[in-house]
Amino acid sequence: MEKIFTPGKWFVGFCALFVCIFFALKYVHQARLEEMAKLAAADMFTWSWDGADVSSSCEITKAKVMKSQDNDAEVMVEGVQKITKQGQSSTSDCKAILKMYRSHNNWMLGTMEAL
């Protein structure tokens, strides 16, 4: 039987380049989503209650995309929360799952579930 199509080196190179671009775009998409989740979680864990002289600050140390689709994603974030009450402070680990939704190419926080 006669060969009809034989892939050449240019075709193989093009396919390899296409696969590399696909994985690079996926990596950039997840990195952007993780950074947006870090910012949203830091905003949620940082608060102040002036009447009782209590405040909280948070440093998010890790974010990981658990599930991602075209318009929604779940991201787990971990960090260290520092609660200051009348001059005394204590630290504790904090962890949450954020559900992010995309609207017009911008990721927005949908829900947050603290663990």
Q: What is the pLDDT of residue 38?
A: 93
Domain boundaries, the chain: 9-114
Mention the CATH class of domain 9-114: alpha beta
pTM listed for this prediction: 0.80
pLDDT averaged per 10 residues, the chain (length 115):
79 93 94 92 89 90 92 94 90 93 88 88
- Collect contacts of 79-88 with beta carbons under 8 A, ≥24 apart: 79/41, 79/42, 79/45, 81/45, 81/56, 81/57, 82/56, 82/57, 82/58, 83/54, 83/55, 83/56, 84/54, 84/55, 84/56, 84/57, 85/52, 85/53, 85/54, 86/53, 86/54
Residue 98: the pLDDT is 94
